[in-house]
């Protein structure tokens, strides 16, 4: 519909700067609500395509993928437990080039502070069960140039799925996939590209 004006009504033409400001403040394209288990990489082996673990968000935690045979709780933060694999540097073990983590709702009693416990006792006290709140992929790279290339590659892949760039988060980029988010960043100190997908509170301490 075209608005009509009386011939004696003053016509106000916005300045170019005002038009530019309005354009820059326009909302970005809304994200496509794509469920984790509907991503194009679902069904692929995570060993060949690590981003396939993002398809596991919301699934039973016991099905989470790890690079080792005996994952264990590696961090406790509020209502969220983080599971992953550990490396014994004293035994000459080296970290895997690609590592995985899983985050689940804490289901056991609160962990006591400053109390030594055997790994088996920690696992028994904090079973990995319930839906996966979040998963993470860590790509270990050789230098900053490789890290930046890998990060750009991962970000482009996420956008190709239909997830919208939601702007910066604390360390890098956030992508809105409708009902869940994916955060990505590269840390030059560790030489690792981090990809974390899950519910909005999966990576927060509450």
Tens digits of per-residue pLDDT, 67-99?
999 999 888 887 888 999 998 888 888 899 999
User: CA-based Rg of the chain, rounded to a whole angstrom?
Assistant: 22
Among candidates 185, 189, 203, which has minimal Cα distance to 132?
A: 203
Range of the domain at 99: 36-198
For the ranges 52-56, 60-64, 98-102, the lowest mean pLDDT is seen at 60-64
Maximal CA-CA distance, the chain? 87
49 vs 123, more confident = 49
Overall domain count for the chain: 1
Residue 124 lies in a domain: yes
CA pair distance 194, 206, nearest whole angstrom: 22
DSSP code of residue 57: T
Say whether 102 sits in a helix, a strand or coil. strand
Contacts for 23 with CB less than 8 Å, ≥ 6 apart: none
The whole-number pLDDT of residue 143 equals 97
Residue 12 lies in a domain: no
Residue 28 lies in a domain: no
Residue 203 lies in a domain: no
Residue 65 lies in a domain: yes
The position carrying tokens 């916005």 is: 14
The whole-number pLDDT of residue 101 equals 96
For the ranges 24-38, 51-65, 150-164, 166-180, the lowest mean pLDDT is seen at 24-38
Cβ atoms of 155 and 173 closer than 8 Å: yes
CA pair distance 120, 101, nearest whole angstrom: 19
Handedness of CA 82, 88, 89, 92 (dihedral sign): negative
């Amino acid at each position: 519909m075209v608005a009509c004006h009386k011939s004696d009504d003053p016509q106000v033409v916005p300045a170019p700067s005002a038009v530019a400001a309005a354009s820059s403040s326009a909302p970005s394209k809304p994200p496509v609500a794509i469920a984790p288990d509907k991503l194009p990489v679902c069904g692929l082996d995570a060993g060949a395509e690590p981003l396939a673990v993002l398809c596991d968000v919301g699934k039973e935690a016991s099905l989470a993928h790890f690079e080792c045979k005996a994952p264990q709780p590696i961090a406790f933060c509020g209502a969220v437990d983080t599971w992953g694999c550990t490396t014994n540097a004293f035994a000459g073990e080296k970290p895997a080039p690609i590592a995985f983590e899983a985050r689940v709702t804490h289901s056991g009693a609160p962990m006591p502070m400053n109390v030594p416990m055997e790994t088996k006792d920690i696992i028994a006290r904090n079973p990995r069960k319930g839906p996966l709140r979040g998963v993470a992929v860590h790509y270990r790279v050789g230098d900053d140039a490789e890290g930046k290339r890998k990060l750009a590659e991962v970000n482009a892949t996420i956008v190709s799925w239909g997830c919208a760039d939601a702007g910066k988060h604390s360390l890098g980029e956030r992508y809105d996939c409708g009902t869940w988010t994916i955060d990505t960043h590269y840390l030059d100190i560790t030489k690792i590209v981090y990809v974390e997908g899950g519910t909005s509170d999966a990576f927060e301490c509450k």
